[in-house]
Amino acid sequence: MMHKILLIDDDIALTEMLEQYLVTEGFDVTVANDGQTGAQYVLAGQFDLTVLDVMMPKLNGIETLRIIRQASHIPVIMLTAKGDESERVMGLESGADDYVAKPCTPRELLARIRALLRRSKITKDGSQQALQIVIGGLTITPAQRRVEVAGKAINLTSTEFNLLEILAKNAGHVVCKEDLALQAMGRTLVRFDRSVDVHMSSIRQKIGTSSNGSDYIQTVYRMGYQLIRE
């Protein structure tokens, strides 16, 4: 199946180069050179993943992402300035699944795209359709990539769902951040990389607390995270 990728970036030369590269790798690519048009494409079209630049005139990438997240769970990779941690954190907090620092090589971006697509793919095995993970008031249905707390559906990004699913499958046990990044995002952590921490903070805010008032997810200092069994 040919995946449909949307590139949103005002750098015309860069998008032309990335488009040509991704097309040769078997992707169906659409380009938008401003945030407003890009958001309209996402909300109107059937794309599998979006690559979104942070720095754009008029409607920047963060604002565009917030519009997209109001109505779509599409996986999003942010293009951020190299070394600008504030951009990366802001992008992740706004709902991005991953980020790539510019300037980046097409090969690096391709690897991130493939990893995110692979981890956001919905399982179509009929034998797993009814499989659920239930921990207290938290219910996770992997085949549908659905999360409910006390019967209420919770909207998670693709990477957030992956992280929560990994913790749920290992409930009661600590999972180190390096393993979480590798399994949920398809990459290793680099020094000072806070991606997992930012995603975990967002998940906590969305799923709230258990029936006894404690957090579902516990931070284990210098080790990682674990989902607490009630």
Give the DSSP H/E element, type plus range, for residue 78: strand 76-81
Residue 123 is predicted with a pLDDT of: 38
Percent of residues, the chain, with pLDDT higher than 90:
60
pLDDT value of residue 139: 93
> Average of pLDDT values for 76-93?
86
- b/e code 112-127 from CB counts within 10 Å (16+ = b): bbebbbebbeeeeeee
Identify which has the larger pLDDT, 90 or 123.
90
What domains can you pick out in the chain, each with its CATH number?
4-120 (3.40.50.2300), 126-227 (1.10.10.10)
SS3 at position 160: helix
Mean predicted confidence (pLDDT) in 151-173: 92
Residues composing the chain: 230
Q: 171 pLDDT exceeds 70?
A: yes
Q: Which residues contact 122 (CB under 8 A, 6 or more apart)?
A: 143, 144, 145
**Which residue bears the tokens 């409930």?**
171
Percentage of the chain lying above the pLDDT 70 cut:
95
Tens-place pLDDT, residues 108-125: 999 999 988 887 764 334
Which residues share a beta bridge with 53?
79
Question: pLDDT-based confidence at 126, cuts 50/70/90?
Answer: very low
Which pLDDT band holds residue 129 (cuts at 50, 70, 90)? Answer: very low
Per-residue burial over 128-160, b = 16 or more CB atoms within 10 Å of its CB, e = otherwise: eeeeebebbbbbbbbbebebbbeeeebebbbbb
Mean pLDDT of the chain: 88
β-strand 76-81 against 98-102: which pairing, if any?
A: parallel
pLDDT score, position 104? 85
Other CB atoms within 10 A of residue 86 CB: 9
* Rounded Cα–Cα distance for residues 200 and 166 (Å): 12
Write down the pTM of the prediction: 0.78
pLDDT in tens, 23-59: 999 999 999 999 999 999 998 888 999 999 999 988 9
